[in-house]
Amino acid sequence: MRTLTAIDGTPVPLPDPDRLVHLQFRRFAGCPICNLHLRSIVARHDQIEAAGLREVVVFHSPTEELLVHAGDLPFAVIADPRRHLYREYGVESAPRSLLHPGAWPGMVRGSIALLRRGDRPPPLRVAGGRLGLPGDFLIAPDGTHLASKLGVHANDQWSVDELLSLVPKEVHP
């Protein structure tokens, strides 16, 4: 077991001894695709928690940028600008993250949503680059990886419905 530190200073045990962890690897602070996806997580956060899950989201951005772009999220956000966790979990960067046609709808919808909300756009220079791929891991309290998904493009991550379908039935209240 290790303890990560969220951008607000909260300690985050990994694995969590009391519940399942949905460990998400996202791209960079302000990423329109990531922002759109995380808003879908926020909208159903109560349902996710009721299923016995703790959300932990990792970005390869520094804490200062994450506080601006992700500081309002109701779950743990971890800064990993040196990509230690990314390497450990095999989450990569590749040009296909943005070149794959599957990423394009998320780029468009995410950018439109960003503009409509009046959110701050992502920085022009992104620490760690823009070519990160997403990754999702469902981790049991004993550290067992119950499921995982390494994205093949920037918009390839579990939906909330997919995530909830992976929760073992004995965990549901």
> Per-residue pLDDT tens for 82-106?
999 999 999 988 777 777 777 777 7
Q: Does some domain include residue 108?
A: yes
> Per-residue pLDDT tens for 21-52?
999 999 888 888 888 889 899 999 999 999 99
Q: Does some domain include residue 166?
A: no
Tell me the one-letter amino acid at 41.
I
In sequence order, what are the beta bridge partners of 14? 2
Residues in Cβ contact with 3 at an 8 Å cutoff, skipping those fewer than 6 apart = 11, 12, 13, 14
Q: Does some domain include residue 12?
A: yes
Position 171 confidence tier, pLDDT thresholds 50, 70, 90: low
What pTM, to 2 d.p., does this model score?
0.87
Q: Are 144 and 23 in contact (CB under 8 A)?
A: no
Phi, psi for 25 (deg, rounded to 5): -105, 120
What is the residue range of 73's domain?
Answer: 1-30+46-128
Based on the structure, what is the number of domains in the chain? 1
Asked if pLDDT for residue 123 goes beyond 70, the answer is no
pLDDT value of residue 34: 81
Q: Does some domain include residue 5?
A: yes
Q: Between 5 and 127, name the one with better pLDDT.
A: 5
Q: Does some domain include residue 71?
A: yes
In sequence order, what are the beta bridge partners of 11? 5
Asked if pLDDT for residue 173 goes beyond 60, the answer is no
pLDDT value of residue 108: 66
What six digits make up the tokens of 72?
């309002």
Length of the chain: 173
Distance CA 159, CA 42 (A): 12
pLDDT value of residue 66: 92
Q: Are 125 and 69 in contact (CB under 8 A)?
A: no
Q: Between 110 and 24, name the one with better pLDDT.
A: 24
Nearest Cα neighbor of 164 from 51, 56, 57 is 51
Q: Does some domain include residue 135?
A: no
Q: Does some domain include residue 142?
A: no
Give the CATH number of the domain where residue 98 resides: 3.40.30.10
Q: Does some domain include residue 160?
A: no
CB atoms near residue 74 (< 10 Å): 11
